[in-house]
Amino acid sequence: MTETISTHTSLHDSTLRGFASDNYSGVHTEVLAALAAANGGHQTAYGDDVYTQRLQELMRGHFGDGAQAFPVFNGTGANVLSLQSLLPRWGAVVCAQSAHINVDENGAPERVGGIKLLPVPTPDGKLTPELIDQEAWGWGDEHRAQPLAVSITQTTELGTLYSAAEIRAIADHVHERGMSLHMDGARVANAAAALDLPLRAFTRDAGVDVLSFGGTKNGLMFGECVVVLNPEAAQGLEYLRKMNMQLASKMRFVSAQLIALLEGGLWLRSAAHANAMAARLTAAVKDIEGVRLTQETAANAVFAVLPPGAADRVRESFRFYDWDQKTGEVRWMCSFDTTREDVDNFAAAIRREVAAS
């Protein structure tokens, strides 16, 4: 029998760079190496493998004894599962109006999770105890979905950042009302780098009950993780993960990537680099006449308003998204693989096209 050797060629221009999303970036070479190392031979399926066991140890090292990790395929799955585990069938979740679970998950919490969302408008993507109270009421009223959990995003969809003290104040407020606290941590590593704090300091120690731990936006090929920080608050994740089609049979390949991220500090190095590139971009464009920054650059996101037509001309060379078409606001995201040259070339293109306006 003749062995056939397949030769694969890239279908895309690997020199192309953009600032649309940290999901656009490739896979970190250390993560690819971890996947290769996890390959070969047989390991028990559905999470009963040595890689997932090692991941549990690492998560306990970062978040403390009793923390439980449930690897999943994607962030939507992590969020839906987290919220389902915190709520009875009649429960509802208070969230920011701009929250990913409210505007970017195609109704998955409601349609798949059966969860009522109670969104609250916020000026900067951040909830406060006072804002939460706009929807945290009506307990015992059979006509109202019961507000029994709060979901916050760290960093927020507007690129802003909660301090550990702000999270602690929210946690105390909701716990006093018999509610639980979930954190959507798709960019939790960027938050830790920006705050210069250990992961535990603004999650478990600040009163978060369940965390959606992000990996894909920080250099993984695929995979996120639900981390239960308060086992008394979350129920049934072993069953919910399978019911919601988030149980990987070859889980070692999700866990191996998360191990690569967590074991040697890659999670922090990559996030800190992305944040630094966003700070470099902010510094490069803030004094351009006609460019108005709309949010403080706290982590790896930059929000700005450009003159009419300028954004579309810049997009001929660099991909990025409109955030609010009515106001002309755009969003620029930096990734673990964004280079100084990428930033400088992008800023030069912005300067050139804004001047042309």
User: What pLDDT is attached to residue 121?
Assistant: 98
Query: pLDDT tens, position by position, for the chain (357 residues)?
Result: 455 556 678 898 888 889 999 999 999 999 999 999 999 999 999 999 999 999 999 999 999 999 999 999 999 999 999 999 999 999 999 999 999 999 999 999 999 999 999 999 999 999 999 999 999 999 999 999 999 999 999 999 999 999 999 999 999 999 999 999 999 999 999 999 999 999 999 999 999 999 999 999 999 999 999 999 999 999 999 999 999 999 999 999 999 999 999 999 999 999 999 999 999 999 999 999 999 999 999 999 999 999 999 999 999 999 999 999 889 999 999 999 999 999 999 999 999 999 987
Pairing of strands 180-185, 210-213: parallel
- Considering the domain architecture, whether residues 325 and 229 belong to the same structural domain is answered as no
User: What pLDDT is attached to residue 6?
Assistant: 60
Which of 216, 231, 263 is where one domain is finished?
Answer: 263
User: What pLDDT is attached to residue 185?
Assistant: 98
In which domain, by residue range, is 67 found? 29-263
Length of the chain counted residue by residue: 357
Helix axes 252-263, 266-285, angle to 10 degrees: 70
CA dist 118 and 95 (Å) reads: 6
Which of 263, 298, 321 is where one domain is finished?
Answer: 263
Is residue 1 in a domain?
no
CA distances (Å), 355 to each of 176, 322, 326, in order? 54, 20, 22
- Considering the domain architecture, whether residues 41 and 179 belong to the same structural domain is answered as yes
When divided into structural domains, the chain yields a total of: 2
Does the CA dihedral 239-241-247-251 come out positive or negative? negative
Task: Return the bridge partners of 181, or none.
Answer: 150
Q: What DSSP element (H or E) covers 55?
A: helix 50-63
How many H-runs (helices) and E-runs (strands) does the chain carry?
Answer: 13, 11
DSSP state of 10: -
CA distances (Å), 107 to each of 97, 110, 113, 152, 300, in order? 13, 5, 9, 17, 26
- Considering the domain architecture, whether residues 71 and 210 belong to the same structural domain is answered as yes
User: What pLDDT is attached to residue 4?
Assistant: 55
Could you tell me the CATH number of the domain that includes residue 336?
A: 3.90.1150.10
Which of 263, 297, 330 is where one domain is finished?
Answer: 263
Could you tell me the CATH number of the domain that includes residue 111?
A: 3.40.640.10
Helix (H, G, I), strand (E, B) or coil at 175: helix
Is residue 20 in a domain?
no
- Considering the domain architecture, whether residues 254 and 335 belong to the same structural domain is answered as no
Whole-model pTM: value is 0.95
| Structure token digits, residue 279 | 């700070």
Helix (H, G, I), strand (E, B) or coil at 267: helix
User: What pLDDT is attached to residue 16?
Assistant: 87
How many other CB atoms are found less than 10 A from the CB of residue 153?
28
DSSP state of 217: G
Is residue 145 in a domain?
yes
CA dist 167 and 154 (Å) reads: 10
Backbone angles phi, psi at 91, to 5 degrees: -85, 155
